[in-house]
Structure 1
């Protein structure tokens, strides 16, 4: 099966893609294109999957770069492939031939491009990172390379949608403590539960930061098991582990 790659017109002409799980070498709960080296999948299968992504991005296999994600607001600026995987949740570069990649399985993969300055970025933005400011930090790092935020286009890839994202009152309280207007990203659920709109919150933060354009591909990871891995779906199914989707961008 060939790879399935979701793209966003706003990110052209940068080579980019939000890769689905289709076209990979992994099996079992990881069936498809699992690119998560931190999963319990066979390491050689993950390596094959990542090599397929690098080929699709038209970069050398060691130029498909990743970070050790931990829901932070840390961003690294790269000019060459790092010798060790940095601890961060976003990367930016102005170097052609480097494909910046992030992994996700319900969190937001966000790709950035300033076509005028020739700068790209990639961020992993779960609720924690988005609330703490990982998207704004990525934009600031791009500006450090010479980007203008008014020229930056950003696209949020497949992530969990509001109908599938049930949260409790403590979760809501964190967002209201940050800004009471964040209440608009929550809908009433069953009992004391709420439904959180993660991509709408991500778009809000991007637009408030002043990017030229921001969009969501409108794909839900939880509800489309044939195309996407989902952490929350794996928990509900009582599976031992889950695959990780990859998103990448390069000049």
Structure 2
């Protein structure tokens, strides 16, 4: 079986993991080629094969993912569920070995977590709604329930829409200022006079993780909207008027 390429985080050390992009799969058309999203209109057989390739790349017998709803819900994984039958949630944690936790994204920020000493891992999907709502903190809390300690947890923020690509309106910025106070304005910048503000999602997610007491936070700094060759992007697809879009996956496992 072909092994798709992925990006790794040094913060997660030797734990099997990867931030996979769009390359190395079997899907065609707008889903070319490693589309791992059951929620897309891609052929199910192709998605199954793509997910099997990701599972194989991290050495997992199975890859579980969620029905993501931009929430702060977190599921504790004890045994794998059937493909496409994951609970409605945007975070997962486990102490179980051999099960790869996978979160899907196409501009939202995937976050992988590990407390290697405690043998606890997690994964979260953080769009702006989940990030401002506290999905990262909720995932950390669920890891603590399994024996992790914040100071030992390493977290990696994977490929997502970058500040150069994330133009937003004033009402969007106002939500963050209302939530976090005037300090939230540092995550917004206006690149040129007369233009709209741009939001730095990965920096905001990293800041929330730091405030949660996480020991190590790594931001890969890869912009999904700007790099069509490597990544799927909801925003890019929407601007082009495309009917659908592929989803990349980030996965982590305890071996």
| TM-score bucket (shorter structure) | over 0.9
State the Cα RMSD in Å.
1.2
3-state SS in 1 of match to 2:130: helix
- Whole-Å separation in 2 of the counterparts to 1:2 and 1:74: 31
| Higher alpha-carbon deviation: 108-117 or 183-192 | 183-192
Answering whether residue 186 of structure 2 is matched by residue 172 of structure 1, we say: no
Which SS does the other structure have where 1:164 is aligned?
A: coil
Given that 1:169 and 1:192 are in contact with CA atoms closer than 8 Å, whether structure 2 keeps it comes out as no
Q: Which residue of 1 aligns with 2:187?
A: 185
Show the counterpart of 2:249.
Answer: 246
Contact 1:93 1:120 in 2 (8 A): yes
Deviation at 1:153, TM superposition (A): 0.1
Contact in 2 for aligned 1:2/1:22 (Cα 8 Å): no
Aligned partner of 2:21 in structure 1 is: 20
Distance in 2 (CA, whole Å) between partners of 1:3 and 1:13 is: 18
1:137 aligned counterpart, secondary structure: helix
- Whether 1:229 aligns to 2:239 is no
Paired position in structure 2 for 1:58: 59
- CA–CA distance in structure 2, aligned partners of residues 192 and 25 of structure 1: 40
Would you say 1:212 and 2:215 are equivalent positions? yes
The aligned counterpart of 2:75 is 76
Aligned to 1:155: 156
Q: Answer whether contact 1:168 1:192 (CA < 8 A) is retained.
A: no
Match of 1:195 among 190, 194, 198: 198
Deviations along 1:39-70, one digit per CA (max 9) or x if unpaired, are 0111111111011111112122xx21011000
The question of whether the paired residues in 1 share the 8 Å contact of 2:3 and 2:54 is answered with no
- Tell me the CA shift for residue 90 of structure 1: 0.5
- Aligned residue-pair number: 249
After TM superposition, give the deviation of residue 79 of structure 1 in Å: 1.1
Task: Name stretches of at least 5 consecutive residues in structure 1 with no aligned partner.
Answer: none
Shift of 1:189: 5.0
Q: What are the residue-to-residue correspondences of 1:12-161 with 2, within 5 Å?
A: 12-60=13-61, 63-83=62-82, 84-161=85-162
Cα deviation for residue 237 of structure 1 reads 1.4
